[in-house]
Amino acid sequence: MRLSRMVICFALMSLAVPGVLGRLGFCRAAAAAHAPVVPDTGTASDEGALFTAFAPVLRHPRCMNCHSQGDYPRQGDDGHPHTMNVRRGPVGFGVTAEKCNTCHQDHNLVGAHLPPGAPGWRLPPPAMPMIWEGLTDTQLCQSIKDPKQNRNRNLDQLVEHLTEDKLVMWGWNPGEGRTPVPIPHDEFTAKVKRWQAAGAPCPAK
């Protein structure tokens, strides 16, 4: 009698278990179907945003007028070619008597629209013209990190150039009659250094 009961109990359990498992599977599928959609916060997009957060500074006229298409500097917020037919020259300081320091001193001259100035006023040299005009965020990021295009700077030197070089910092104090870079310099520096700390990632293509 005891053996018969055991056989019956085993048979009932065998029938019950598939049903229970089936119900569990159904519940899990239903729960998954109604689960809230979690937005993708993957590191790729987040890290790319570290660069795009400060890229508008690099595209501001105070930067782009020296990093634009052509073998000459530009002027104004509209980026028109420099007057007097100024050219880059063999090392970026101009040609013949039209050297940059003929007009541009190491400081701004007092008065509206008088020649601006900063130490080392120049264009990038022709061997590494660092032309950014027309580049996507990804291309711009790759360009400024590339030693073949950034005067052989490593990442630390690049960040120092972007945040401390007096010629770059002129963009925040461009002289009377010119539009300065709108993002405060300390905010720009913080964004650049966050990008550096993350390994200087570039936005996805």
Residues 6+ apart with CB under 8 A from 190: none
What pLDDT is recorded for position 3? 39
Which tokens is 124 given?
């990038």
- Structural domain range at position 99: 49-197
Count structural domains, the chain. 1
182 in any annotated domain: yes
73 in any annotated domain: yes
- 95's enclosing H/E stretch is strand 94-95
What is the tally of helices (H) and strands (E) in the chain? 9, 4
Residues 6+ apart with CB under 8 A from 84: 98
133 in any annotated domain: yes
DSSP string, 22-57: HHHHHHHHHHHHHSPPPPP--HHHHHHHHHHTTHHH
142 in any annotated domain: yes
Low-confidence ranges of the chain (pLDDT < 70): 1-45
What pLDDT is recorded for position 119? 96
The C-alpha atoms of residue 43 and residue 27 are separated, in whole angstroms, by 32
What pLDDT is recorded for position 98? 85
150 in any annotated domain: yes
What pLDDT is recorded for position 45? 54
> CA 173, 192, 130 angle in degrees (round to 5)?
75
12 in any annotated domain: no
User: pTM value?
Assistant: 0.76
What pLDDT is recorded for position 56? 97
190 in any annotated domain: yes
